[in-house]
Amino acid sequence: MASTFRIGGDLDVRRLGFGAMHLPTGPGPGRENALAVARRAVELGVTLIDTAHLYGGGANEELLAEALHPYPEGLLITTKVGVARTGPGGEWKLDGRPQILRDQVRQALRRLRTERIELLQLHRIDPDTPLADQLGTLRELQTEGLVGRIGLSEVTVEELERARELVDVVSVQNRYNLLDREHEAVLDACAAAGIAFLPWRTVAWGDTGSEAGIAAVAAELGATPTQVALAWLLDRAPVVLPIPGTARIEHLEENLAAADLKLTPAQRARLDGAAEGVRAGSG
């Protein structure tokens, strides 16, 4: 099982990354701890960190820059645009209008203290704006040198196919984990095309029977159920780049240790069976 993946064919990252969404951005001890978590992630070899404009209206981006700038060579911080406080009462809503996307990219460049976002992802497809306008804007920003590569988030197979007719899509970020495999077909499409698949909500519990099966495998390996769930993701396909998030250093260290966990074929089959049981029960 390869420990690295080349996004877009030329951007090498370690496959087990870090999602920064849960890091507190307000003043005080929580922020100091968040800075320490981000720095510890890089110390432990993380080279892929995920953030978004939505996370605090850019505050999460600012936090990462405070923690990590000047960035070490090889570190990829990917951010997402396309959700804005443009609802009737100033609430968050999907907004993929060209002017909004351009403004959020400009803000991200300033907050992240960089001249180029190497991987920019469209947080959601805005149904009220033509897809060609949304992706065309990102393509223009790419041509201008402000964006290196383009990715998508929470898309169907059909939406991915439509998007690939307009731009070179190098990544997809969808909800996916051992017990929630709604987007299995999207992952399969990414694997077939060599597109990086960044699952979010990488660990989710709730089915007692399946949790018992996962815990049994964890006991055999001397690991935690969370580590087993992450190891299963890494074993699922070479294009899978999990981005588990946490605001605690001990959880971060636990998560990243999953990269060294090796599942036997029999254990993998049992875990697959646990997931099938959940799907059968919800069908």
CB under 8 Å to 106, separation ≥6 — which residues? Answer: none
Tokens 């110390």: give the residue. 43
> Is 55 among the catalytic positions?
yes
Supply the Cα-derived Rg of the chain in whole angstroms.
19
- What tokens appear for 174 in the block? 């969808």
Dist CA 272 CA 267 (whole Å): 9
Q: In what order do the strands lie in the sheet with 48-50?
A: 18-19, 48-50, 76-81, 117-122, 147-153, 169-173, 196-197
Give the number of C-alpha atoms closer than 13 A to the C-alpha of residue 24, restricted to the C-beta side.
12
3-class secondary structure, 114:
coil
* Structure tokens, 20: 């920064």
Query: Could you say which of 5, 18, 55, 176 is catalytic?
Result: 55
Cα 232 from chain centre: 16
Give CA–CA dist 245/84, Å, rounded: 22
Count CB neighbours of 268 within 10 A.
15
Q: In this structure, what token pair is assigned to residue 196?
A: 């990086």
Distance (Å) of CA 156 to CA 153, 159, 174: 9, 5, 9
Just list the catalytic residues: 55
